[in-house]
Structure formats: structure tokens, C-alpha cells
Amino acid sequence: MPFIWLRQRLVRSQILAPTPAAAGGDATATESPAARWPAAAIKVPSLATATRDYARAIDADTFDRLGAAEHRRLSLAMGAEIWAWQRARRLTSQTPWRASPAREERCERISAMQQMMDDLATWEHALAALDAETARARIYDRPVPPDLEVPSAVMRLIEAKRAAALERAARRQTRTDGGGGGPTLVPDDAVHHPPPPRKPI
């Protein structure tokens, strides 16, 4: 896989403990209702339980009706990165990620971070899908969906991937153009002239 060294460095730098995530009145809200539901007042489930409950709600098509308080509970348990990844998977019609209750939670968080950093295509397709959804909302005068909060480590990988693709395209164009738009000119003095023929004796 490309950028393995960068992924490994970024994974080690991530905060693996749960962090308050965006959760509002719908499935894609980005404003935190912490003032109304302080984290201390919410019983935060384990990562395995939260991802299980989330997956069940998605499968039953009831997630959007759970309400802001339940979204807050699930997002707090998952943390901002996994919460955003779940949304990216939903935007690309993928099944939700579920943590294993048989494994240590810290190990599952590391595994999730590695998976989401390996699968850059999911993030790129999710961003494209969100752009299309935003365009439709503006055309039909509907509320515009909030941005997808792509983790900074993932965004750095996406940017590195795009930069590498542009560099490869530039090299291919250079070869197509013959190394710069035409044959290389050689000064006359550098041209090898064969010696004149010898006179007969």
C-alpha cells in the first residue's frame, strides 16, 4: 500500500481515547449539543456496544429518528474519527464498522484508524457524494448537509496521494511531449565530424 511509512507515523500520533464528536439533531449534524447534554450526564457505552447499536439503527433505517441525545451518546463512545468514518461509509453505501467485544478497546481503535487510513477511496468517494448531495440541496432549496469532518491524518494522506498523482501525470506529459516539446538542439561544435578521406599514394 502507498504511503505506508506516513500512515504508520500518523496512526501512532492519533489520540486513541474517545473524544467528543459532532452530534446534533440529525444523522449528519456537526454542532455539538454539549450545553444541553453534558458528557458527564450521559452514560457512554463501550466502543463495541456503540458500534453495534449504530449498525442496528442503520440496518433498520431508524438512525435519523434516534434523536440528538442518542447521536451524542454514540458519537462520544466512538470518538470523532470513527464517527466521521461511519458517516463516510454510509455516504458510500457501505455497511457500518463494528468493533469486536472480544478484543481490547484500545486495539480496536488502532485497528479502525489503520483501516480508515488504508481505505482512502472511501473518503474520496464520500466527499464526492457529499458534494453531489450539497448541489442537489441548493438546486431544490433544501438544507445543505454539513461537511464531512475528515480526520487530519487521513486528509494529509489524501493530499499526498493527489500530489503524487499530479507528479506522475506531469512526468507522463513530459515523456509524451518528447522531453520538453521538441528535440534537443546540439551546438555545431559538439557535432562529431568524420575525418576527411585520405589521399591516394
DSSP 8-state assignment for residue 60 = T
* Cβ neighbours of 4 (radius 10 Å): 9
Helices (H), the chain: 4-13, 47-59, 68-78, 80-91, 105-118, 120-139, 152-176
Contacts of 112 (CB under 8 A, 6+ apart): 81, 82, 85, 97, 99
Do residues 16 and 26 lie in contact, with contact meaning Cβ atoms separated by under 8 Å?
no
Q: How far apart are CA 68 and CA 31, in angstroms?
A: 10
Q: Residue 194 — pLDDT band, cuts 50, 70, 90? A: low
| pTM summary value | 0.69
Q: So what's the pLDDT on residue 45?
A: 95
Mean pLDDT of 12-26: 44
Class of residue 55 by CB neighbours under 10 A (exposed 0-12, middle 13-18, buried 19+):
middle
Highest mean pLDDT among 18-22, 125-129, 172-176: 125-129
Q: Residue 147 — pLDDT band, cuts 50, 70, 90? A: very high
Do residues 24 and 64 lie in contact, with contact meaning Cβ atoms separated by under 8 Å?
no
DSSP 8-state assignment for residue 100 = -
Of 12, 130, 133, 33, the residue nearest 76 (C-alpha): 33
Do residues 32 and 23 lie in contact, with contact meaning Cβ atoms separated by under 8 Å?
yes
Q: So what's the pLDDT on residue 175?
A: 82
Mean pLDDT of 187-201: 54
Q: How far apart are CA 191 and CA 27, in angstroms?
A: 72
Q: So what's the pLDDT on residue 35?
A: 44
